[in-house]
Amino acid sequence: MLPIELLRVNISSKTNHVRPVFCNRENDLSLPSKIIKMYQEMAEKKVSKATVDENILRMEEKHTDYKFVRGICHLLEQRCEYSSSVLHNPKVTANGNVNTDNAICLRRSIFEESSRNGYPVTESERRNILQKIALKNDLTIEDLELAMWNDLDRNKYLKSFDSLTSLQLAAWYNLSILQTLLLSCVKLEFSVSGGYNWKKILRKIKQLGLMYFLHGQIDPESSTDNQTKNQNIIFSNDNDKKIVCAVDGPLSVLRPTDRYGSAMAKLIPLIIFTDSWSINAIVLRKSVSGAKKTYNFRLSNRDEDLPIFDASETKSDSHSQSAAKSSLESSLGNDALFDSNVEKNFMNKFLTFSTNWKLSREPDPLILTDGKAFIPDFLFEKSGVRVYFEIVGFWTSDYLKRKLEKIKDLSTTIANTIEIDLLIAANKDNYISENGDKIGIDSIFSKFIDKKQLIFYKKDEIPFGPIIKYLKEIDSRIIDDITAKLQDTIMKELERITEDYQNGVVFLDQIANKYDIPVESILKTVRHLQSNNNHKTSKETKINGLSNFLLIDNYMISVDKINKMLPELDKISRFQDAINFLSKNDIPEKCITLLIPKIGFEIIWNGIDSNNALIQKAGKKQH
């Protein structure tokens, strides 16, 4: 962070907003570049700190914004190493290995000698005193005068400078000035995405002794399309709501405390180095007259004029507040993302199942009634439906009690107002002590969690059968609900496609992807419409073009196309040749084996090798 006196801000009286004057990529990088070069040259020449300060003052005189120059230099000074000058005469350090100690000893000797001889009022008397001390230490008077003040900062020389690029310096400056602004923060609200990021930030909040409160907020800038919004209405799932964390504390407008503001500012690097974030703060400022006033500050990763913050190449140190984007996931590997091997093994095994459910680790928090966070271990997602999954492993009794209270809060109090689908997998060996008695965790969970949503396991092996069954039940509900709610949309799309087909093959999954719905809903609609067409039912649900298509797997193939291929297909006897022929005619290979029996042929298998298989017309005797 920067000293508060180096903070540069723009204040809008109309909107009551404040914003730091960030370092701009296009216009402001030339000055940081000049200052970096100046420090590099001074480090090469090993100049004294006094000379460094003089050069900084000259740089300030050349530029109108002295705060910007001083702010940049303040940061660069943290990358400098100063050292006391080493005298050439080795006898000087005979009584100590640190030049600071020698300087103190020399000054003491000079003052003691001056005390014995009387205060020197002439230059001659002064040199006589220095001469005596210089002879005792085998020094010249010039070396003595240098050595006696060798420990003062202004006399130290610039030993080394850890250089960086102007872009890295600009990013570091922007982060620092943002933190400095929030030193006077009365209230901070922020939002990030991803449970892993939330877990890191909330853990830091607790370490810093801050108090927080979570609440939901509709995101006005959400890019959710209309179709997904329709799904959210169907399944009572609002994906446009983001989680906002409000950090409050004993910081009043009348008596602000720097300690609390400093703790708030330390959260900033963790927030802005996530993929999606926003900050909304109330900042206290003093006017020239001394009057106090609060201003609003807003910033997010979506801002068009977002300043440079990505200093991922900057060498972080204890002073830069980790001015580099966190790469914890890549540096520690996948194992660091899991709290236990049970979670890691579960995710690896689940991904081997073809469920079409997206599984993600540590989603955004669920908000408890007290405003605190509950971050489930996993989230299953499909077609706008969310199913949370929490694994309660083998832990201490206190940990289990806290976990149970949170789950009970979600399963009872919150469930009355918000629909939260939560699966629990609990280690059956867990017990909780109450009044000296051991109570099994299964009996406690069963009191407030539905049996279908409760899974028990032993020996770190979570059974997948109940989970897959639960998700399949939801699959059926999804398909039925979407088919019923979006039938008109699906019918119009099918009618458009069947009226204008050229290659004779319709990929139903393309329709599903267009509207972000399961392909099973398209299939159900097609079967329903073809059935109505065959039975000559109501005109409202008839699409005449569908009778010209054959439904095979997730594809519709036109009967005209099939009839054109039949004469050539009748000449083919080898199954592999039939596959090649149909593939050349744009028939997807995935559905060829299903298509052949549907168009009057049968496959004769001679072993498991498809190269030995034959095809012939159904009912034809094999010779």
- Retrieve residue 130's tokens: 């220095």
Q: What is the mean pLDDT of residues 599-608?
A: 88
Residue 271's pLDDT band (cuts 50, 70, 90): very high
Q: What percent of the chain has pLDDT over 70?
A: 79
CA–CA distances in Å: residue 327 to residues 274, 300, 324, 333, 408: 10, 21, 9, 10, 35
What is the structure's pLDDT at 318? 36
Mean pLDDT lowest for which of 71-75, 96-100, 508-512? 96-100
Q: Which residues contact 128 (CB under 8 A, 6 or more apart)?
A: 117, 120
Residue 337's pLDDT band (cuts 50, 70, 90): low
Residue 17's pLDDT band (cuts 50, 70, 90): very high
Residue 67's pLDDT band (cuts 50, 70, 90): very high
Q: Which residues contact 192 (CB under 8 A, 6 or more apart)?
A: 198, 201, 271, 274, 276, 277
- pTM of the entire structure? 0.67
Strand partners, 446: none
pLDDT of 176 > 90? The answer is yes
Mean pLDDT lowest for which of 155-164, 327-336, 575-584? 327-336
Q: Which residues contact 550 (CB under 8 A, 6 or more apart)?
A: 556, 557, 558, 559, 562, 595, 598, 599
CA distance 491 to 220: 32
Residue 264's pLDDT band (cuts 50, 70, 90): confident
pLDDT of 145 > 80? The answer is no
CA distance 213 to 202: 10
Q: What is the mean pLDDT of residues 321-348?
A: 57
Would strands 277-286 and 185-192 be described as parallel, antiparallel, or unpaired? antiparallel
What is the structure's pLDDT at 492? 87
CA distance 529 to 479: 16
pLDDT of 199 > 50? The answer is yes
- Note whether 273 and 325 are within 8 A (CB): yes
Residue 314's pLDDT band (cuts 50, 70, 90): very low
> pLDDT tens for residues 366-408?
888 888 888 888 999 987 889 999 888 766 667 777 778 888 8
CA distance 56 to 553: 75
Would you tell me which CATH number, out of the four given (3.30.230, 3.40.1350, 1.10.3470, 1.10.287), belongs to the domain 334-475? 3.40.1350
CA distance 159 to 81: 6
What is the structure's pLDDT at 35? 93
- Retrieve residue 295's tokens: 């201003």
What is the structure's pLDDT at 536? 52
Q: What percent of the chain has pLDDT over 90?
A: 20
Q: Which residue has the tokens 């290995």?
A: 97
pLDDT of 95 > 60? The answer is no
pLDDT of 116 > 70? The answer is yes
pLDDT of 22 > 60? The answer is yes
CA distance 300 to 282: 15
Q: What is the mean pLDDT of residues 169-179?
A: 93
Q: Which residue has the tokens 């919150």?
A: 414
What number of CA atoms fall less than 13 Å from residue 608's CA on the CB side? Answer: 0
221 burial type by CB count under 10 A (0-12 exposed, 13-18 middle, 19+ buried): exposed
Mean pLDDT lowest for which of 285-299, 435-449, 591-605? 435-449
Residue 459: left (phi > 0), alpha (psi -120 to 50), or beta? left
CA distance 355 to 535: 34
Q: What is the mean pLDDT of residues 413-424?
A: 72
Q: What is the mean pLDDT of residues 226-233?
A: 46
What is the structure's pLDDT at 21? 92
- Retrieve residue 225's tokens: 């399309």
- Note whether 366 and 390 are within 8 A (CB): no
| Greater model confidence, 620 or 581 | 581
CA distance 520 to 513: 12
Q: What is the mean pLDDT of residues 440-454?
A: 77
- Of 160, 26, 141, nearest to 81 by C-alpha is 160
Mean pLDDT lowest for which of 188-197, 209-218, 264-273? 209-218
Fill in the amino acid letter for 43: A
Q: What is the mean pLDDT of residues 91-108?
A: 59
Q: Which residues contact 339 (CB under 8 A, 6 or more apart)?
A: 377, 393
Residue 308's pLDDT band (cuts 50, 70, 90): confident
CA distance 520 to 477: 11
CA distance 53 to 204: 37
CA distance 382 to 474: 10
| Domain range list for the chain | 90-150, 334-475, 557-617
| Greater model confidence, 511 or 91 | 511
CA distance 349 to 465: 12
Residue 322's pLDDT band (cuts 50, 70, 90): very low
What is the structure's pLDDT at 438? 65
pLDDT of 29 > 90? The answer is no
